[in-house]
Structure 1
């Protein structure tokens, strides 16, 4: 599974976000040729890259078997992982295209069809006594079936013949789209350091495995909580902003920014306030007294994770108006500050130092992004609404 995840990471970075933004912008401009061209780009590039990685894994399957013989002593495992990679990547690419057209229901329909099939297949194979290899094979087969399901819905947006013919896409748009993808690769790298527990690496250098376990628990619950609703809501904002930017309607962009900020606050602050207040009973009921040290850590970590929910309003505008380089540049600076704080606080204060050190950069990006949005579109973050929502959540 690690190889499948690594392979997907190699071929997916940047292109999904590019699809979401540039398809929406092309639709806003009323340029169907550019929209079709953007549809072709991720399908061709990601499909080719996935096929290449698939062939490399298959070619190295014998060698990988000798390297990881303690885990898998059969090269067929790696072949099946490689086989499952291609449909996974293509289905993800099709999902990004649906998001660009803002036809999220098509992705939902495909998921409602394929997920039960996958679940039933796993149950049947397990009941019949089959193992991991057979489940991998079934996953790959259903993945290929999922591609056809995705294409069935995709043809409602783009004629199938248009996928295999010259789109007439503006070469400059293609160049800009690919540049956006490459920039997003860097953004995801620095975002990983800021948001995805890079501090655990430093905890491993300076603390015990038990302390890392307490910290991981304290981190995961706020992460899952914020991802429940605010993160999902925030994901749909980028295509909406990009479409209005394509139309040149900056008044709509401003309205989307302020309105989404208010909704994100109403969704995020009550969840965070509840998480902080209920941290102790959650830990005691579900994990027991031995995880008492995770309570204070969780309460600290909930605060910066509120920013993770809120910054979707500002980042959607920054990406939507095609200024991703700002997020990359500021992310590099924030990442370096994060590393400095880890080296300073973790050796002195252990997991508490890690929680505080990771909180500073996660909170800092919020005003930094909001100020940049103000400079670009001339609208402040609704501070008055923020105060009212925070007070309501506390009460």
Structure 2
């Protein structure tokens, strides 16, 4: 069983040596300066502000030219994570005994009893059932959550009604109808497949299962008489395919995904991926700050599955320092931390259920997966529900509410900042007091 449990993108890497993509170079131009002219052989994309990515058959020559150019603040190569095959989900076990006492009459979804994280804090869950009994879902605002992952099954019976849709785009006509730089981005983008101009394409189909599973945990349609229910009641899921099936995502793709999500209205971004190497780059930290300052976005990321202290052995993006980044460890239904979960008294913020989480997978299926990859969307679902009730919360306020309202667990106090497991009921009650 131990080989089946780590169904996640946050994998241990056998080597910390980073690889670079030979065709992409990140360039930041100094304030008030212009990007130097590179001729017709290079394709230039403005990611945000004064930050650009230049695509060429071989950027090594450009890199040498630009390093000391007076207009350029810095250049960075585009690094990727080490390739590693992803585990497949496992069939869900029979509902455990604790599900019989969950008592969730507000949901008519027939398999919701298999989602053990809905249980109350006393049963090691995040109090979803209790929160809905007391607070309901009336007068909530729709919150868009971007799932930056392996894509999403847009035809899944439990997800198709909760998908974010770009209303300015006409499907399949091969035209950038809304002028946002992307063609046919109806449900999101795919940064892994680019057209001849270097633009991300619009087919974000999930060819693995991870992104679809993450999406269901956050917002599978509630009370449709089908499958399960997601944690958030009034949510739209934006699916962005940025993580390949072998989990070697690149910094440029991640940054572009964050910018796309923010520009298109996502207030929460879920990141169930990571790598053990970081090259001292500025791109991701600057992207995080940009989407906080300009769009008010909270990013929620998995802590990783190496059973290690990330204060000593960093993992990224979790170990980037940012006010709008919330890092999540994983817990099991016994109440303790999952044996695989990373931790960090400084670097990890909260914990959430991540072991044997039952959710949607492609082809109208439902299966269990485990990992901090599952704890992160559990937290993102709670965050979305809180924000839907209190949409004026800033990302920093929302992060603080989630941390200050945890159910404290004594053995967690030296494992993370908040020292406990997230709790939807307590978070809603605390958010009500924020002015």
Which structure has more helix as a fraction of its residues? 1
The two structures have a TM-score, normalised by structure 2, of 0.21
The two structures have a TM-score, normalised by structure 1, of 0.23
> Who wins on radius of gyration, i.e. which is larger?
1
Which structure has more strand as a fraction of its residues? 2
